[in-house]
Amino acid sequence: MDDIKQLEIKVLTIPEKARAIKVIDNETYALACDALLEIKGLRKQIDASFDPIIELQNKAHKEAIAQKKKVALPLATSEGILKPEISAWDTEQERLRREKEKKLNDIKRKKEEDARLEQAAALEKAGDTATANEVLDAPVTIMPVEVAKTVPKVEGVSFSLRWKYRVNNPYHVPREFLKLDEVKIGQYVRMKKASGKIPGIEIYSEKVVAGRG
């Protein structure tokens, strides 16, 4: 830990040294390069100090996650069995409920329409054609029948809609939903370099400075 503390103190002095160097001639250029190489050397020291610690912690972390998954696996398997069963039953019962509700409302609406026809026929027979037409033209309104749900409400169990999608025809997908394949573009640019050409994309290079400690 003392070595790490000394290394930390030394590293803290580097930014000030870097800011003090302004490359205006070959001498200051050489100073900047020396400072860059010093940074590379310090990076190696940091790696040597921290990488073994990180590796041990990563190994312990991965092992703990693996053990957690192993212990919880039977529960995940059981959930995978039960959840589709619960969802399918609730969905089917809701479908049946709505179907029954629709039938009852259709019957009620039909009765109302039949009653209207009888009323209009009676008015027509009595010679009141205008009122008969008004009765026939008026919209049919009924108090909707509501069928109660039969699936019990279980405390702690709830449902939510998870919206998903499937691509039926990729050529019809609007442009705003498309994503550039940056991995493929990068591979093409690195291979073709200056000779590469992609419509809508500018290919350029940047000079990168590297130093070996």
Greater model confidence, 179 or 212: 179
- Write the pLDDT tens digit of every residue in 168-201: 999 999 999 999 999 999 999 999 999 999 999 9
Picking from 17, 42, 43, 45, the residue whose alpha carbon sits closest to that of residue 32 is 17
Give the CB-side neighbour count of residue 51, counting CA atoms within 13 A.
6
Strand partners, 5: none
Q: For residue 213, what pLDDT is reported? A: 62
* Residues 156, 150: Cα–Cα separation, whole Å: 18
Confidence check: pLDDT of 82 > 80: yes
Is the pTM for the entire model greater than 0.95? Answer: no
Confidence check: pLDDT of 167 > 90: yes
What is the chain's Cα-based Rg? Answer: 38
* Residues 192, 201: Cα–Cα separation, whole Å: 14
Confidence check: pLDDT of 127 > 90: no
